[in-house]
């Protein structure tokens, strides 16, 4: 489950854009080139937009990466219902590992 104000990312868009810009700048400077602050800002913009778009709860729920967006005020009710439903099925042994997305 995910709340409407949640974001799904390993790191924030600003942090990711800064790290990627730093790597790019160092590569350019290593080759003797120069990279202006304007070029850096231009490089960061699409990364920030991508993180904002792909980190949104609707993006993850649309891809079934979570069980849906819930009202934070109803979190206890949703969790109680989910746990109750999960406890009704018999748990069978499995022979496969953990699936990672």
- Residue pLDDT, tens place only, 72-84: 999 999 999 999 9
Residue 101 lies in a domain: no
Angle between helices 13-30 and 37-54 (to 10 degrees): 140
Residue 69 lies in a domain: yes
Residue 6 lies in a domain: no
23-27, 52-56, 62-66, 85-89, range with the lowest pLDDT = 85-89
pTM of this prediction exceeds 0.75: no
Tokens representing 14? 């600003």
Residue 43 lies in a domain: yes
Q: How far is CA 76 from CA 6, 70, 79, in A?
A: 17, 10, 5
Structural domain boundaries, residue 32: 13-86
- Residue pLDDT, tens place only, 9-59: 888 899 999 999 999 999 999 999 988 889 999 999 999 999 999 999 999
Residue 53 lies in a domain: yes
Total domains, the chain: 1
């Amino acid at each position: 489950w995910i709340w409407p104000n949640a974001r799904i990312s390993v790191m924030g868009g600003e942090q990711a854009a800064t790290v990627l810009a730093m790597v790019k700048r160092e590569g350019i400077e290593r080759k003797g080139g120069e990279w202006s602050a304007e070029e850096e800002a231009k490089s960061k913009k699409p990364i920030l937009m991508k993180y904002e778009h792909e980190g949104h709860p609707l993006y993850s729920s649309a891809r079934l990466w979570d069980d849906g967006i819930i009202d934070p005020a109803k979190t206890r009710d949703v969790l109680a219902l989910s746990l109750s439903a999960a406890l009704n099925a018999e748990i069978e042994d499995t022979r496969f590992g953990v699936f990672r997305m």
